[in-house]
Amino acid sequence: MDLSTMILVIRIPVVLNLLVMTWPLLSALLLWLVNLTHLPLLLLSISLPSFPLDHYLLQGIKDIGEDAAISTLHLFQGDIDLPPLYFHASVEEHWDEEENPEEIETVLKVVPPPYHQYLDVFSKVKAEKLPPNCTCDHCIEFKGLLPPVSVIYSLSNKESETLLAYISDNLEKGFVRPSSTST
């Protein structure tokens, strides 16, 4: 593993932003950690909803751009050789353009405040999207085997309609696909 491409990430609550700047013990501890690992350090202040950290880290620190408001803190001057220390100064709410403000307000009212950092999980727009495809798709083919024999449960008309609607909806979204078994 090439350590030159790694980055240390420490998430801190918004309240601790000032403590990092004013509390010498915490600053010294962070600098010790950077000096020990010889990796750049990215301190992220977390606001609600949470900052999409993984997306930016996968692109690499140099590809983040000016809009991420990352600046280098020069805490020491002189002959102390430390890797750069990065501080994320501001975090904005990152919602999809497809989401409407009414849905966001509804979700904010329904979801308890301790779970606001996970608001993107409750998004209907994001829930209807699959993650990007991998470079290869896997499937298991059982040649010559039949599906297990099981009891067929009878459903009422309403249950059958609901099941068919669910299956067709998920087929359209691409969440499921038709069976490839021979029977």
**What's the pLDDT tens digit per position in 167-178?**
999 898 888 888
Mean pLDDT across the chain: 61
**pLDDT tens digits, 44-74:** 444 333 334 333 333 344 444 433 333 333 3
Structure pTM? 0.34
- Burial of residue 61 (CB within 10 Å: 0-12, 13-18, 19+) is middle
Question: Is the Cβ–Cβ distance between 30 and 17 less than 8 Å?
Answer: no
The answer, yes or no, to whether residue 13 has pLDDT greater than 70, is no
CA proximity to 52, closest of 128, 120, 141, 110: 120
CA proximity to 51, closest of 94, 9, 115: 94
Question: Is the Cβ–Cβ distance between 60 and 107 less than 8 Å?
Answer: no
Residue type, 15: V
Alpha carbons 167 and 119: distance in angstroms, whole number: 27
